[in-house]
Each structure stands twice: as C-alpha cells, then as structure tokens.
Structure 1
Amino acid sequence: MNLDPAELAAIRARKIKVLVFDVDGVLTDGQLFFIPGEDGKGLEVKGFSAHDGLGISLARLGGLRVGIITKRNSQTVAIRARDLKLEFVYQGQAHKMHAMNEIASKAGVSLEQVAYVGDDIIDLPVLRVCGLAIATANARPQVKDVAHYITANPGGFGAGRDAIDYILSAQGTLDRAIKDYLDEENAAAAASDVGQGNM
C-alpha cells in the first residue's frame, strides 16, 4: 500500500515525544534588534509570538517535552525560555546535532521520536535525521525540500503553534490539551506561560 506524503508525515507525528525548535526565524521572525549601551555593548531584542507561547503550554499538557537549540547566545532567549519553562535550552550551538543527541539521551528517546522545527541551512543536519522534520513557511528552499511538514505561518507569527497543533492533532490529544488548559482547577495549566519578562 502506497501512502501519500501527508499520510506518512502524520504517521511520523504520532511517534513524537520531544519537540525542539530553532529560535531565530522560527520562534521569532528572524530580525535582530540591538539597543546600544553606554558600555559599548548592545542589548539584543527579539519579538516572540504569544500564540507560540500558549502552544508550548498545550504541547506540555499533551504530553510533549519541549526545547530549543540556537546558534546565538541571547539574554532575551534565556528570559523567554524561562517564562515558557522549556525543559531543554541550548544556546551557542554552531553544530546542532551535538545538542540534539544530548536532548534525545536525556529524554530517553530515539531521534525517530523527536520533531525539529527549522528555517535555515544550519538546521539541515538535524532535520535530515529526526523523526519529524518541520519547516516554517519562511524557510529556505533547502529546508523545505527535506521537511515532512511545512507550517502555514512564518516564524514569529505562529509557526511554532502550527507545529504543535499538527503533532497533537495527529496524536489525538489536541482537544484534551485545550480542555485541560481551560480547566480552572488544573494547576499545571494555571502555572504555564506566566511570563515575567525581565521583571
């Protein structure tokens, strides 16, 4: 029996236990803003989508473990990762497979059980070996060529949420995760994505 690519991607999505995102161009729109300081150094500022943040809460409620791997080092990313209670946070990763292998080992899963969301060629080594390769709508052509699924929205504008909704839908847990998130008695949902920024 020959399955079409969409069916094969859904089969892959059902096996996912860990979801990992690139940051720039995936959880942000890829623009980098620098505010100069008196010491000659700059503060890097990025914009994140609230839809993605809520989606990461849904992902956890749906049973996924979530993390990021990024080449840059950024205090802004550290703050956002803390607010979202990300389990795996790897910054300064020029070769992302090192971090990906460590995440899989810590989580006790195979790479087949890991989904990765990327947008540029630095993500190719991971996308080529993970169980579910996801490209954002704004991804470079080389990334889209290896992706099993391409998000409807670009990075920084809901691409992360698209990836989460896709996986949870394939696993049949999206509706339950939404119900749990909206349950006033659910302590885990109440504590999720309570952003403090730099307060």
Structure 2
Amino acid sequence: MTHLSQSELQAHLASVKLLALDVDGILTDGGLYYTETGEELKKFNVKDGLGMQLVMRSGIAVAIVSAGHSKATLHRAERLGIPHVLIKVQDKLAAVKDLCETLQISLSEVAYMGDDLIDLPVMQAVGCAITVADAMPENLAIAHYVTQKSGGQGAVREICDLLLRAIGDRSERIE
C-alpha cells in the first residue's frame, strides 16, 4: 500500500460506509492511567466525539474495535451513541468482517484507523487504511493516509472532517 494523493483519498472516503476505530493510541493518546484502587481512566478528545457524531448523522456507521476492555471506553461509546462496540477482540479482522456482514457492506467500504501491530491485518484488508502521526512504523508504512495529529489529539476528528467533505455533507459547517 502507498499513501494516497488528496484526490485518491477523497475518492476512497466517498465510498466509506463504516468508520472503524481502535481505541488506545487512536481515540486516546495511548497512555494508561490508574486510580489508587486500580480503576483504569482514559482521556478522550471532545472534538473527536463531535466528529464521530457528525459522521453518524451523515449515515456512516461508526464502530469501536478494541483488544482491551475498559469501562471508560464503554461509557464514552454510550455517551456518543456509538452502537457498534467490539471489545476484548483478539482477531480484529474477523470482528470487522462479521460487522460488515451484519451491516451488509464490503471491506472495501470500510475506513479503519489503527496504530499498532494488532491493527495491521485489518488495515491491509479495508478500502481505506488510516493511521496517526505517532503510529508504529509498520502501520505508517501501509497506511493510505497518515493524520497530521497524533492519537488522542484530534486525529479522529481530522478523518471525520475529511469523510464529511468527501461525501458532500454540508449540513454542518466544518472548517
């Protein structure tokens, strides 16, 4: 895979029907925070949240696909109204394929954002593979697009805005 030109990226994004996202390193900065009692805390970006809501309003499905299990992730997904939350997933490609069957779409209609080695099989199989600026070198090498922002710093919003522009959704101002 090679990085796409801006016009090629727009064409890929225009056909997307599912935006699937890893959590740690994509929706968060990858840091792990624990309270004294061992409860895990995660820091999410509010701009990413609004971007995902705008994408869902435009008719594109959004899914979270995580190998981890965190109450914070479940709460964030619920708060944003994300219906497809796949956690404790060891085979992310199989999980995304199953979701595609449920949604009756093909892998070529999926944009997937992942930043680490566990994400590589999905990134190699989907129509639009996206990673963040601070991803592992292997992910950077195969991505169709690398965000300007790092994970947890608005990278998901960057993609959401590009998706909305690609599908021509002008119902919300995106600048």
Aligned length: 171
Structure (1 or 2) with the larger CA radius of gyration: 1
Amino acid across the alignment from 2:171: R
- Which residue matches 2:106? 110
Deviating above 4 A after TM superposition, structure 1's stretches of 4 or more consecutive aligned residues are none
- Which residue matches 1:147? 143
Say which SS state the counterpart of residue 10 (structure 1) adopts: helix
CA distance in 2, matches of 1:33, 1:122: 21
Identity of aligned residues (%): 36
**Matching of residue 122 in structure 1 with residue 118 in structure 2:** yes
**Matching of residue 74 in structure 1 with residue 81 in structure 2:** no
Structure 1 residue runs without a partner (length 5+): 180-199
Q: What's the CA shift for 1:6?
A: 3.0
CA distance in 1, matches of 2:17, 2:150: 24
1:61–1:177 contact (8 Å) kept in structure 2 = no
From 158, 162, 165, the counterpart of 1:162: 158
User: How does 1:62-101 map onto structure 2 within 5 Å?
Assistant: 62-101=58-97
Amino acid across the alignment from 1:62: S
- Which residue matches 1:172? 168
Structure 2 residue runs without a partner (length 5+): none
Amino acid across the alignment from 2:131: A
1:117–1:163 contact (8 Å) kept in structure 2 = no
Q: What's the CA shift for 1:8?
A: 2.0
Q: What's the CA shift for 1:145?
A: 1.1
Q: Deviations over 1:53-79 (max 9, x none)?
A: 110111012221101001111111111
- Which residue matches 1:23? 23
Q: What's the CA shift for 1:140?
A: 1.2
Could you state the TM-score of these two structures normalised by the residue count of structure 2? 0.93
Q: What's the CA shift for 1:5?
A: 3.2
Q: Deviations over 1:157-190 (max 9, x none)?
A: 10110111111111111x32349xxxxxxxxxxx
- Which residue matches 1:11? 11
Amino acid across the alignment from 2:25: G
